[in-house]
């Protein structure tokens, strides 16, 4: 049921977005560039709007967003329920799962951070 709701939501957003891109191309370009500012995508000199802007609200975009949102359904954690066995990438680039790092009865501690 959740996948169907996500499919309906994402499809509706893509149809509306595509329609707005056709009817109001300049306004949508400003909107998409504003989104690029939030993700700092526009700071990369190799990217220009002409390279990635038109891909918004395309069929490939729809499939990508669905894939990400459906994958996130598996990664949801709820209080009182078992933790999800989320895939993680090691420093070597190897894809493993969280439970691969558990040892006996020792607690598994996750430390999240970022560096720029």
Q: pLDDT by residue (tens digit) across 46-97?
A: 777 887 778 888 999 899 999 888 877 766 777 888 778 888 888 888 988 8
User: How many angstroms separate the CA atoms of 114 and 88, rounded?
Assistant: 15
pLDDT at residue 115 tops 70? no
Question: Which pLDDT score, from 0 to 100, does residue 24 have?
Answer: 94
Q: pTM of the prediction?
A: 0.56
How many whole angstroms from its chain centre is CA 10?
12
Q: How many structural domains compose the chain?
A: 1
Domain assignment present for residue 81? The answer is no
Domain assignment present for residue 106? The answer is no
Contact 70, 6 (CB under 8 A): yes
Domain assignment present for residue 59? The answer is yes
Domain range enclosing 67: 1-75
Of residues 37 and 60, more confidently modeled: 60
Question: Which pLDDT score, from 0 to 100, does residue 116 have?
Answer: 58
């Amino acid at each position: 049921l959740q996948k169907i709701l996500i499919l309906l939501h994402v499809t509706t957003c893509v149809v509306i977005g595509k329609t707005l891109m056709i009817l109001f191309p300049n306004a949508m370009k400003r909107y998409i560039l504003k989104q690029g500012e939030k993700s700092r995508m526009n700071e990369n000199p190799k990217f220009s709007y002409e390279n990635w802007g038109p891909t918004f609200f395309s069929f490939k975009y729809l499939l990508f967003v669905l894939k990400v949102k459906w994958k996130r359904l598996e990664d949801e954690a709820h209080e009182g329920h078992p933790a999800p066995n989320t895939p993680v990438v090691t420093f070597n680039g190897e894809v493993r799962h969280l439970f691969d790092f558990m040892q006996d009865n020792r607690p598994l501690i996750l430390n999240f951070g970022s560096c720029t």
